[in-house]
Amino acid sequence: MRQALSRRRWTKKFSLAAGSAVVAPSLAAANRQATPEQTEGPFYPVHPAADLDADLTQIDGVEGTALGDVIVVSGHVYSLDGKPLTGAMVDVWQANHHGKYIHPRDRNTAPLDPNFQGWAKLNSHADGSYRFKTIMPGPYSLRSFGINGMRCRHIHFKVTQPGFQTVTTQMYFAGDPLIEKDGVMAGTPAERRGELIAQMDASGEFPEYRFDLYLGTV
């Protein structure tokens, strides 16, 4: 059930939290590789959007709120030696609650959600952190592509920083049974798939999924 929290209050609350803690990288720097690459996919947004902020559940100037279960996604952007990257561009896009993208090439017959932003561009903070509020994306059938199967729930990421290699990848959700049969995930070496699966922390206002990203130098 959605808790009433205005867009302005949530953004302010996030801004205060973002600079309050630095979380150390989860793996030893000596063993660190860049985050595994995955396909950008065919649905990177093509239409200009006036609202690309950190709250995808609402659109500025639109009264309604997006359908679906509200979640928060947060993490840090690091170099391979574990140093936080300040000002990295974190570009994220995803399907809505029904598994439909805001894209003219998406032939999925599921409905669009006029209240779902679907796309955000964020800059990492001084400690490398980023955070955004969204809804749990829906899985969707691949039949419109002539493929017998489903895509599991996922969020697309493209992270850029001058002097570093761009990472284009996808984030998955721990416990999703469709991950095991997902064709895109199957293209990532089995020993590295865990780096793309975010774990849930249910202690906050909304379920929160942690997803750290690592960039190698050019």
156 included as an active-site residue: yes
In sequence order, the 6+-apart residues with CB closer than 8 A to the CB of 202 are 208
Question: Among the options 103, 130, 156, 209, which is catalytic?
Answer: 156
Question: Does 8 qualify as catalytic in the annotation?
Answer: no
Per the annotation, the verdict on 9 as an active-site residue is no
Catalytic residue among 76, 78, 98, 101: 101
Instruction: Spot the catalytic one: 130, 151, 172, 214.
Output: 151
Residues in the chain: 218
**Residue 125 a catalytic site member:** no
101 is catalytic: yes
d(CA 175, CA 194) in angstroms, rounded, equals 12
Cβ(52)–Cβ(82) under 8 Å? no
Q: Residue 74: which of 178, 171, 160, 152 has the closest Cα? A: 171
Could you please report the per-residue DSSP string of 137-202? PPPEE-GGGT-SSEEPSEEEEEEE-TTB--EEEEEEETT-GGGGG-HHHHTS-GGGGGGGEEEEE-
- Kindly give, in sequence order, each residue whose CB lies less than 8 Å from that of residue 54, ignoring residues fewer than 6 positions away: 11, 14, 120, 122, 131, 132, 133
Residue 171 to residue 210: CA distance in whole angstroms:
10
CA 78 – CA 76 distance, rounded (Å): 6
Judged by DSSP in three states, 73 sits in: strand
Catalytic residue among 154, 172, 209, 214: 154
Active-site residue set: 101, 140, 151, 154, 156
